[in-house]
């Protein structure tokens, strides 16, 4: 006899949970980076513990099914306000509301103020966060609600910026007091150049609009230091504390130490390296010719009319549902039309008759490296015919072989200023930017100029291919000795590198780099040269000379925080570091340090005479 299965227990209705006051509040701290104080807490709602409705997601999903979302929001807000008041904490209380709930709050402003007075919370301590849960079909009609709440004393925040409905449009039109950056952009920002650039753009707009930024989702020290050094005012996340019914009144010692960290973040520079770039959009923009296209059912007479109307058009694309299916080159087409009776015989026939049905197509998002491979391919039709440029498969314009060569070359030249195409390390512009950032934050650091002894003879003897391998090995060795949170490594060009150490044990790191490189570089030599201890070649004057193995030399200059009477630039520092490097090339140890007193003298303008 089979046992009867128990009937499933139905989840309680949201209206019943509200009536029974079976909701609870937890709070997550929001920290001011300037002084490390907790400026406020975000109030979050929870359902009955241990039930299927404990999480906010489950609660609001059930409320949506019952049509009681706004009622739940208002009950959640009251629960959070009451719980916060009972804690007796200082600071602001951030409360989440959808657009519909905010409208109701504004309509019942007096009721809201009365509720706050009864509980003992001043309206000026409330920050109302507009969540992404619902769209705002008519922003103009929503503005009076925001104005009404501000008149009551509350502040207004845009939550989860960068996702869903949190858009630039809303930021401009609603002019929030606070903008909370969605955690997606903050998580791993210390190692993600695109997230870094996105947040930097938000920061620039916040400065222009007067909004205060809060970085959500801070979970580790590296991300915290990056957003701190970007100039973002506040942060929130597990690194400061998880949501709790009795949250901390002050930040933890670990968080406080991280906020006070003396080193400046090494920003993930959003370089435009050729092979490392995700998109060739920059190259596509340079070469696209915005030209009309013809439908598949167009006739040869239509093609002729278009070419006559646009005498500079080198080709015309044939499209079907806005997707390219063929390309007609002007010269080939007009040569055919010059033949006797060609127009009479073929003018009214379909244009596909003389079209190239398999044209070269370049997607706008194609990497620059793939474009460069196209230049080296056996199929060179695009040089004469041109090619089609698409975006997500849709036709946007044409290009020529000449424009492709020029665009790829220009992008590569520009990219080399930001990242070295061989090592993918930051180039001269990011190097100068980081030095300027260190000086601006009055941070002490050690600028170490790295050069390889006897590299040119090695390159002449073994060829540039093997020389490139030595340079990549040097970059790898230097990267291994750097602390990614404190030390910045850049590739100036050729066999010159620059390391900006903030690590206190910089000397041990530099010495380790020299030792590891000098030992490892010997494996790039042929056995007979290893046995001989080097190679025979010619010096700069063409005299026969024996050159030892390629070795690493590091010249370092100590840069301390600037004083009003001792201000210097990134160019000054690079100049003195280069002088230290030249000294290091003559030292057996391969390492020379210019102490602060001498470096200060040099950086104050006495460099020229010494260098000469």
Q: Give a yes or no: residue 270 inside a domain.
A: no
433 and 567, same domain (yes or no): yes
Q: Give a yes or no: residue 190 inside a domain.
A: yes
Count of residues making up the chain: 612
328 and 433, same domain (yes or no): no
Q: 8 or 382: whose pLDDT is higher?
A: 382
Count other Cβ atoms within 10 Å, centred on residue 146. Answer: 21
The last residue of one of the domains, among 354, 386, 413, is: 413
What does the alpha-carbon distance between residue 212 and residue 148 come to, in Å, rounded to a whole number?
A: 21
Q: 587 or 283: whose pLDDT is higher?
A: 587
The last residue of one of the domains, among 382, 413, 444, is: 413
11, exposed or middle or buried, with CB in 10 Å at 0-12, 13-18, 19+?
middle
406 and 436, same domain (yes or no): no
Structural domains of the chain, count = 3
Q: What is the CATH classification number for the domain harbouring 219?
A: 3.20.20.450
Q: Give per-residue pLDDT as tens, 107-119.
A: 888 888 888 888 9
Q: Give a yes or no: residue 112 inside a domain.
A: yes
What mean pLDDT do residues 136-156 have? 88
Q: 38 or 374: whose pLDDT is higher?
A: 38
Q: Give a yes or no: residue 5 inside a domain.
A: no
Query: Nearest CA to 467 among 548, 550, 552, 582?
Result: 550
488 and 396, same domain (yes or no): no
204 and 339, same domain (yes or no): no
Q: 581 or 267: whose pLDDT is higher?
A: 581
Q: Bridge partners of 150? A: none
408 and 431, same domain (yes or no): no
Is 605 a residue whose pLDDT tops 80?
Answer: no
146 and 193, same domain (yes or no): yes
The last residue of one of the domains, among 352, 386, 413, is: 413
295 and 244, same domain (yes or no): no
What does the alpha-carbon distance between residue 558 and residue 577 come to, in Å, rounded to a whole number?
A: 9
What does the alpha-carbon distance between residue 279 and residue 175 come to, in Å, rounded to a whole number?
A: 33
Q: 13 or 135: whose pLDDT is higher?
A: 13
Q: Give a yes or no: residue 4 inside a domain.
A: no
Selection from 12-26, 165-179, 421-435 with the highest mean pLDDT: 12-26
Q: Give per-residue pLDDT as tens, 273-331.
A: 333 443 455 566 667 888 899 999 999 999 999 999 998 898 999 999 999 999 999 98
Q: Give a yes or no: residue 346 inside a domain.
A: yes
What mean pLDDT do residues 358-382 have? 72
Q: Identify the residue whose tokens are 């009055």.
A: 442
In this prediction the pTM is 0.66
CA 358-361-366 angle, to 5 degrees, is 150
Q: Give per-residue pLDDT as tens, 59-71.
A: 999 999 999 999 9
- Helices 368-375 and 401-418, axial angle in degrees (round to 10): 140
Q: Give a yes or no: residue 60 inside a domain.
A: yes
Q: What is the CATH classification number for the domain harbouring 287?
A: 3.10.580.10
56, exposed or middle or buried, with CB in 10 Å at 0-12, 13-18, 19+?
middle
Residue 377: pLDDT band by 50, 70, 90 thresholds?
low
Q: What is the CATH classification number for the domain harbouring 559?
A: 3.30.70.270
Using an 8 Å Cβ cutoff, are 53 and 62 in contact?
A: yes
Query: Nearest CA to 35 among 228, 320, 281, 287?
Result: 228
403 and 435, same domain (yes or no): no
409 and 427, same domain (yes or no): no
Is 337 a residue whose pLDDT tops 90?
Answer: no
Judging by DSSP bridges, how do beta strands 178-181 and 212-215 pair with one another?
A: parallel
Q: 515 or 257: whose pLDDT is higher?
A: 515
Using an 8 Å Cβ cutoff, are 483 and 475 in contact?
A: no
Q: Give a yes or no: residue 201 inside a domain.
A: yes
pLDDT of residue 406: 76
Using an 8 Å Cβ cutoff, are 156 and 176 in contact?
A: yes
Range of the domain at 183: 14-259
144 and 234, same domain (yes or no): yes
Q: What is the mean pLDDT of the chain?
A: 86
What does the alpha-carbon distance between residue 243 and residue 237 come to, in Å, rounded to a whole number?
A: 9
How many Cα atoms occupy the beta-carbon half-sphere of 94 within 13 Å? 25
pLDDT of residue 565: 53
pLDDT of residue 275: 37
Q: 354 or 604: whose pLDDT is higher?
A: 354
Residue 402: pLDDT band by 50, 70, 90 thresholds?
confident
pLDDT of residue 371: 72
255 and 328, same domain (yes or no): no
Q: Burial letters for 227-264: b for 16+ Cβ neighbours within 10 Å, e otherwise?
A: bbbbebbbbbbebbbebeeebeeebeeebeebbebebb
């Amino acid at each position: 006899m089979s046992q009867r299965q128990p009937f499933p227990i139905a989840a309680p209705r949201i209206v019943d949970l509200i009536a029974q006051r079976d909701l609870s509040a937890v709070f997550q701290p929001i920290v001011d980076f300037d002084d490390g104080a907790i400026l406020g807490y975000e109030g979050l709602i929870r359902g009955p513990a241990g039930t299927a409705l404990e999480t906010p997601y489950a609660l609001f999903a059930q409320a949506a099914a019952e049509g009681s979302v706004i009622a739940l929001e208002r009950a959640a807000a009251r629960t959070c306000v009451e719980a916060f008041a009972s804690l007796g904490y200082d600071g602001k209380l951030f409360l989440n509301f959808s657009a519909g709930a905010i409208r109701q709050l504004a309509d019942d402003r007096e009721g809201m103020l009365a509720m706050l007075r009864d509980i003992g919370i001043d309206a000026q301590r409330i920050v109302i966060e507009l969540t992404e849960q619902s769209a705002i079909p008519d922003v103009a009609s929503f503005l009076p609600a925001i104005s009404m709440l501000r008149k009551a004393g509350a502040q207004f925040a845009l939550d989860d910026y960068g996702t869903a409905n949190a858009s630039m449009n809303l930021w401009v039109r609603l002019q929030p007091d606070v903008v909370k950056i969605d955690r997606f952009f903050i998580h791993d920002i210390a190692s993600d150049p695109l997230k870094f650039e996105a947040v930097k753009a938000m920061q620039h707009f916040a400065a222009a609009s007067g909004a205060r930024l809060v970085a959500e989702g801070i979970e580790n020290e590296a991300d915290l230091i990056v957003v701190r050094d970007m100039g973002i005012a506040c942060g929130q996340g597990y690194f400061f504390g998880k949501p709790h019914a009795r949250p901390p009144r002050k930040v933890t010692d670990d968080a406080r130490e991280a906020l006070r960290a003396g080193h400046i973040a090494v920003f993930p520079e959003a370089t435009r390296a050729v092979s490392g770039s995700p998109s060739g959009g920059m190259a596509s923009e340079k070469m696209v010719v915005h030209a009309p296209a013809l439908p598949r059912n167009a006739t040869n007479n239509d093609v002729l009319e278009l070419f006559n109307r646009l005498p500079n058009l080198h080709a015309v694309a044939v499209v079907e549902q806005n997707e390219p299916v063929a390309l007609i080159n002007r010269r080939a087409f007009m040569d055919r039309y010059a033949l006797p009776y060609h127009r009479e015989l073929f003018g009214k026939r379909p244009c596909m008759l003389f079209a190239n049905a398999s044209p070269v197509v370049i997607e706008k998002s194609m990497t620059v490296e793939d474009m460069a491979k196209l230049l080296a391919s056996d199929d060179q039709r695009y040089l004469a015919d041109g090619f089609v440029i698409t975006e997500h498969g849709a036709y946007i314009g044409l290009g020529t072989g000449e424009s492709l060569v020029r665009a790829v070359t220009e992008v590569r030249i520009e990219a080399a200023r930001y990242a070295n195409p061989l090592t993918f390390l930051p180039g001269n512009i990011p190097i100068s930017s980081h030095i300027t950032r260190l000086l601006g934050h009055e941070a002490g650091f050690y600028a170490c100029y790295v050069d390889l002894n006897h590299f040119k003879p090695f390159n002449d003897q073994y060829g540039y291919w093997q020389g490139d391998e030595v340079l990549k090995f040097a970059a790898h060795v230097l990267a291994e000795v750097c602390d990614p949170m404190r030390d910045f490594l850049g590739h100036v060009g050729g066999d010159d590198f620059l390391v900006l150490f903030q690590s206190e044990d910089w000397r041990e790191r530099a010495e380790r780099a020299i030792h590891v490189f000098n030992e490892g570089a010997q494996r790039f030599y042929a056995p007979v040269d290893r046995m001989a201890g080097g190679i025979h070649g010619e010096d700069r004057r063409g005299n026969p000379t024996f050159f030892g193995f390629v070795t690493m030399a590091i010249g370092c200059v100590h840069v301390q925080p600037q004083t009003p009477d001792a201000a210097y630039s990134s160019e000054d520092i690079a100049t003195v570091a280069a002088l230290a490097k030249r000294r290091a090339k003559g030292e057996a140890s391969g390492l020379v340090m210019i102490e602060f007193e001498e470096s200060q003298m040099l950086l104050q303008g006495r460099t020229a005479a010494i260098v000469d």
